[in-house]
Amino acid sequence: MGLYKYRIYIPIKIRSLRYTIQHQQNIIHTFQFQSSLSSLFTILFFPPIITMCTLEKRGDLFLLTLTGDGEHRFHPDTIATILSLLAQAKSQSKRGSVLITTAHGKFFSNGFDLAWAQTAGSKTGAANRLHQMVESFKPVVSALLDLPMPTIAALNGHAAAAGLILALSHDYVFMRKDRGVLYMSEVDIGLSMPEYFSALVRAKVGTSAARRELLLSGKKIRGEEAVGLGIVDTAAYDSAEGVVEASVRLGEKLAAKKWSGEVYASIRKSLYPELCGILGIEARVFAIPKL
């Protein structure tokens, strides 16, 4: 990928657990019947690990990466770091800038950090922590819609719940054909859908049948089917490296256009008025003559 002008590495502590559906249902159950013993069990047997978010720049391309081999679950610290890195990309953007978001390991992201919510020690505390993550993630979606550059999500692996919402917040979504599923788990684990999640899916997934498959079936959707349903743009790659390389090729092609980022973001937001209204962001009109 060549030499980068700079790298930003910000370590953040999160919990990373490999959940089955039964595990997640058990966690939701504890939201209703929480005991100090179950919280202690989680703390003792699932210790926190270190993950990293990095922002790298090469020429016109910004690469935002969730690193490490975990599930890249969204703890509040993770969310704050992503927001900070998006703000840095925005502040250093210019004509022709492009953002690519990807991750390491088997997961793009497995959604919110439910284990952290569980350790609150009570039903109310767990619900409050979950609400905190839902609300703090909303500005991430807003930031991506408002970012003055094209955006590409390069899915290295599974994208579930809020992890899939992160992917769909980009302009383009590339997926592997050999590995990875898209999965909105809320119907399986008994969680209601945040309003801005539903609005984003309505904005980005074109047909009611595809939205039904994604949100109401609890189905794990693989690459070729995701393309057929219009959820992702392509799933033609046999490795994580292949997805990133294809994203870089598209990014370089888009960067060569040297579009005005402000105009690009304004047009993007005009496509999704309902979503922008729910997120509280407005499109500005720009008239910049082409010289």
Domains of the chain, by residue range, sit at 14-279
pLDDT value for 239 = 94
Distance CA 72, CA 147 (A): 22
pLDDT value for 284 = 67
pLDDT value for 22 = 46
pLDDT value for 30 = 47
Mean pLDDT of 93-105: 98
Mean pLDDT of 162-172: 99
Mean pLDDT of 174-203: 96
Mean pLDDT of 141-170: 98
Distance CA 119, CA 114 (A): 9
What does the pLDDT look like over 20-79, one tens digit per residue?
A: 444 444 544 544 434 444 444 333 444 444 457 999 999 999 999 999 889 999 999 999
pLDDT value for 149 = 99
pLDDT value for 119 = 92
pLDDT value for 200 = 98
Q: In this structure, what DSSP letter does residue 96 have?
A: T
- Looking at the chain, the whole-number percentage of residues with pLDDT higher than 70 is 79
pLDDT value for 282 = 82
Q: Mean pLDDT lowest for which of 39-43, 85-89, 283-287?
A: 39-43
CA angle 287, 269, 176 (to 5 degrees): 125
How much is the mean pLDDT over the chain? 86
Mean pLDDT of 77-96: 97
Q: How many CA atoms lie within 13 A of 95 on its CB side?
A: 7
pLDDT at residue 4 tops 70 = no
pLDDT at residue 15 tops 70 = no
Tell the CATH topology of 14-279. Answer: 2-enoyl-CoA Hydratase; Chain A, domain 1 (3.90.226)
Please, are residues 4 and 57 in contact by the beta-carbon 8 Å criterion?
Answer: yes
Contacts 24+ apart (CB under 8 A), 76-80: 76/116, 76/132, 76/133, 76/136, 77/12, 77/13, 77/14, 78/12, 78/14, 78/51, 78/53, 78/113, 79/133, 79/136, 79/137, 79/140, 80/136
Q: Which two three-digit tokens encode residue 104?
A: 């390491």
- The structure's pTM equals 0.83
pLDDT value for 226 = 97
Strand order in the sheet with 172-176: 6-14, 49-58, 61-67, 98-103, 151-155, 172-176, 234-237
CA angle 172, 114, 12 (to 5 degrees): 70
pLDDT value for 248 = 98
pLDDT band for position 5 (50/70/90)?
Answer: very low
